[in-house]
Amino acid sequence: MKAVAFNGSARPKGNTARAVEIVFGELKKEGIDGELVNIGGKPLAGCTGCNKCKANKDMKCALKDDGMNSYIEKMASADAIIIASPVYYGNVTASVKALIERCGQVARANDSFLRHKIGAPVVAVRRAGSNFTYAAINFFFGIMEMPIATSSYWNMTLARDPGEIENDAEGIKTFENLGKNIAWLMKKTRG
Ligand SMILES: Cc1cc2nc3c(=O)[nH]c(=O)nc-3n(C[C@H](O)[C@H](O)[C@H](O)COP(=O)(O)O)c2cc1C
C-alpha cells in the first residue's frame, strides 16, 4: 500500500513538509510507503473548463506542460492521498487549488477513480484560516467519494517560519495520530 502527499507550499522544507514527514513516520512503522510531491512555487494553471478530459476519458488533463498529469498518475496509483497546504489568505495555496480543480475534473471524467481512496488534509498556519483551509480540502475528498482520515485534533500546526512546527507539541501529536489513523483506515479498507 502506498500514500502520496502533495505539498502546496513553495518551501520544500517548511512547516507543511515537516508535518507530512511526521505523518509518513507513522505510516512507515506500519510498513506503508509515502511519497512527498512538492507542487508549490512553480507554474500550475487552474482548470480552463475546456471539457477535453470528459471527451477524451484518457485520465489526462489537456494542459500537458506543467506536470499535472504526473500528479494525476500518482493519485491514481495511491491508496491514500494527503493534500497539504499552508494557509494563504485564509485558504489553500493557488497550487493546491489548481490540483483540486484539474485532478477533480479528470477523476470525474474517468469513472471517479479516486472513489474509496483515503484522503487527509494537512494544514500549516501562522494564526487564522486553518479551519477554512482544512474544510476546503475535505470538500474535495467529499465530492470524490473518499473516506477521510481524522486525528485527535484538526490536522493543523500553528507555525510561521520554517521549523516553528517543532515548538507545537499538540500539532506534532495531531500529525502522529493522523498517521496512525490513516494506517488503520488503509488496513481496514485497502488491505
Ligand atoms: C502569501 C502568504 C499568505 C499567508 N496567509 C496567511 C493567513 O491567511 N493566515 C495565517 O495565519 N497565516 C498566513 N500565512 C503564513 C503561513 O500560513 C505560515 O507561515 C505557514 O507556516 C507556512 O507554511 P510553510 O512553511 O509550509 O510554507 C501566509 C503566508 C504567505 C507567504
Which ligand 1 atom is the nearest neighbour of the CA of 84? 26
Ligand 1 pocket mutation, candidates 87, 130, 165, criterion most atoms within 8 A of CB: 87
* 47/138 Cα distance (integer angstroms): 19
Residue 64 CB burial class (10 angstroms; 0-12, 13-18, ≥19): exposed
Domain range enclosing 152: 2-190
User: Cα of 155 to ligand 1 centre, how many Å?
Assistant: 15
* Pocket of ligand 1 contains residue 123 by CB under 6 Å: no
Residues 32 and 139: their CA atoms lie apart, in Å, by 25
Q: What is the CATH number of the domain that holds 40?
A: 3.40.50.360
pLDDT for 17 equals 98
* 99 within ligand 1 shell (Cβ under 6 A): no
Report CA(44)–ligand 1 centroid distance (Å).
Answer: 19
Q: Assess whether pLDDT exceeds 90 at residue 191.
A: no
Residue of minimum CA distance from atom 15 in ligand 1: 126
Q: Is 127 touching ligand 1 by the criterion CB < 6 Å?
A: yes
Question: 48-73 pLDDT, tens per residue?
Answer: 999 999 999 999 999 999 999 999 99
- Percent of the chain beyond pLDDT 90? 99
**Which atom number of ligand 1 is nearest to the Cα of residue 19?**
26
Report CA(11)–ligand 1 centroid distance (Å): 11
Distance of CA 20 from the midpoint of ligand 1 (Å): 16
DSSP 8-state class, residue 101? H
Q: List pLDDT tens digits, range 70-95.
A: 999 999 999 999 999 999 999 999 99
Q: Confidence class of residue 97 from pLDDT cuts 50, 70 and 90?
A: very high
CA pair distance 37, 7, nearest whole angstrom:
6
Nearest CA residue ID for atom 21, ligand 1: 160
The CA distance from 149 to 181, in Å, is 6
Q: How many structural domains comprise the chain? A: 1
Output the pTM of the full model.
0.98
Alpha carbon of 68 to ligand 1 centroid (Å): 24
Q: What is the pLDDT of residues 107-159, one digit of tens each?
A: 999 999 999 999 999 999 999 999 999 999 999 999 999 999 999 999 999 99
Residue 113: burial class (beta carbons within 10 Å; 0-12, 13-18, 19+): middle
Q: What is the pLDDT of residue 135?
A: 98
Name the average pLDDT for the chain.
98
pLDDT band at 106 (very low <50, low <70, confident <90, very high): very high
The residue assigned the cell 475528498 is 141
